Amino acid sequence: MKLIKHYIVTLALFSCTVTIAQQLPQFTQYMYNTISINPAYAGSREALSIIALHRSQWVGFDGGPITQTLSIHTPLRNDRVGLGLTFIEDDLGPENYSYLYGDFSYAIPTGKTGKLAFGIKGGFTQYSLDADFREYESFDPQIRGIENRWSPNIGLGVYYSTNKFYLGISAPRVLTTNLNKEQGFEALERLSYYGTAGYVVDLSEAIKFKPAIMVKATNGAPVSYDFTGNFLFNEKFWLGASYRHNRETGAIGGLIDFQISRQLRIGYSYEKPISDIRAYTSGTHEALLIYEFKFLSSKLKSPRYF
């Protein structure tokens, strides 16, 4: 009976996805994985940065999303141009998405420490449907006609930052792609808008506080609001909490990060859903690793706040 319930919810989730809109994966530690949604972030950390993230969402729920990302970005010698490359593998039940995108940014100095960067990304989204799920094509028109394919897309972004503040606006997928060729049905990769912001407050010499927010709006889907608050102790240890307000995927969680060295940082977050899905899962786990090659820039700060 439990498996039947999970299967029914999987079908319902799949139906919502193909009939409404395909959205990019969501992350708890979005403030450290900004390159995946905003190309203007490329090169902003003033070093060659490698970011790896694994997210197991809704653990214990059959077909729960599993997302893995690997990104690399760096400034060029003149510090105004940034380049990046991002790969995302996102598995949602029977649906599988792979994203491979390159990023380009150009930054203009503003004030003593500020930079205003403009970015563009371009690449491909690969979509596939599990073979064992296609047996339902004969009676489900939402599945019938969906093709496995690579589709090109582009994204745009603007990112402003200082040593203590950042603000970003982006649309990582501008083109609309219909994955279903069956007449009368659509499976769309729709336009999504992201807004991000954060600020670092010095509470004492040893403690800093960083609130952050991300707003995501997708055509045909509920608006999502992510709020986080992190405390930094002695420039080495982050501890914080998160809250996502969303009609379908709301959650509360905790975050912990360690600055192991000037170059290496690891992080972990846990989320517990507060939406209807909470009855089927024990929660969501997310692990993050950031490694930076400081020898590419003598200006690398330790640690970077965002």
Nearest to 56 by CA among 218, 288, 228: 288
Residue 180, pLDDT > 70, answer no
pLDDT on residue 136: 52
Q: What is the mean pLDDT of residues 137-143?
A: 49
Residue 192: other Cβ atoms inside 10 A: 22
Question: Per residue in 156-173, pLDDT tens?
Answer: 999 999 989 999 999 998
Which one-letter DSSP state was computed for residue 41?
G
Architecture in CATH for domain 2-292: Beta Barrel (2.40)
Of 69-78, 132-141, 172-181, highest mean pLDDT: 69-78
* DSSP bridge partners of 10: none
The pLDDT assigned to 300 comes to: 53
Burial of 139 by CB count in 10 Å (0-12 exposed, 13-18 middle, 19+ buried)?
exposed
pLDDT value, residue 98: 92
* pLDDT greater at residue 250 or residue 300: 250
Residue 118 has pLDDT above 70, yes or no: yes
pLDDT band at residue 63 under the 50/70/90 scheme: confident
Mean local confidence (pLDDT), 90-115:
91
111 Cβ contact list (under 8 Å, min separation 6): 162
Examine the pLDDT at 217 and tell me if it is beyond 50: yes
When pLDDT is averaged across residues 161-187 and rounded to a whole number, the result is: 75
Is pLDDT above 80 for 294? no
Q: Would you list the domain boundaries of the chain? A: 2-292
